[in-house]
Amino acid sequence: MSSRATILAAVRANLPKPGRELPDVPRFESDQPASLAAAFCEALRRMGGRALEPGPPEDPLAPLKAELRTSRFVCSATPEIQGALDLSGEVDPHALADVDHAVVRASFGVAETGSVLLADRDLKVNALAYLAQHLIVLLDPAAIVANMHAAYARPELGVHAYSAFHSGPSATADIEGVLVQGAQGVRSLSVLLAPKIAARAVTH
């Protein structure tokens, strides 16, 4: 066993064991917006993201297909869209370096912040949400919660090895107070509200 493994094993064996239950955290409920979907889309816009116009009932993914029509390299982590790279097996993250558009389905969204939760199950390869040039997220409108208090009560945050909230594209404003998007991650983040039951596998 290496020195690193020995140290980590010792730390795990000596973690504090409080022996008491965690306290109940209040939900801090406030008046819920009339439409969670509309509130989500407005917050998403404020964070620099974009809500794609819903497709017709007979083709709910039509706006997504239009976005992907001119893409050179589409990588999809959801079976609803067929991508150029199979993510079902072991994938070297370096293979995602040239992805133009990544398509994923979020676990849920948060109306208060316009955020989507992307877990390891949703991404298949965690780096996909950061290496792609453009990220397109499918979100079931029924899976939108009102605020972050409700979000942290969701079970997804306790059952996945990795999960992260994404609120719009990568952005930084620490240099001369100028907002730059796409500096450290995806250049754009778009969300299409599409129920799981309505979406079906398509090619772009």
pLDDT tens per residue, range 97-108: 999 999 999 999
Distance of CA 196 to the CA centre of its chain: 15
Residue 4 lies in a domain: no
Structural domains in the chain (count): 1
In terms of residue numbers, what domain contains 183?
33-203
Note whether residue 50 is domain-resident: yes
CATH of the domain at 132: 3.40.50.10420
Predicted confidence band of residue 115 (pLDDT cuts 50, 70, 90): very high
For residue 125, being part of any structural domain is answered with yes
Q: What is the pLDDT of residues 2-31, one digit of tens each?
A: 899 999 999 988 988 777 776 777 777 777
13 within some domain: no
CA distance 50 to 168: 8
Tokens 């499918």 appear where? Answer: 138
pLDDT of residue 199: 46
What is the distance between the alpha carbons of residues 84 and 98, in angstroms, rounded to a whole number?
12
Domain assignment of residue 3, yes or no: no
Per-residue pLDDT band for 204 (boundaries 50, 70, 90) equals low
Average pLDDT score, the chain? 88
Mean pLDDT along residues 37-49: 96
For residue 28, being part of any structural domain is answered with no
In this structure, is residue 22 part of a structural domain? Answer: no
pTM of the model: 0.81
Which one is predicted more confidently, 33 or 108? 108
16 lies in some domain = no
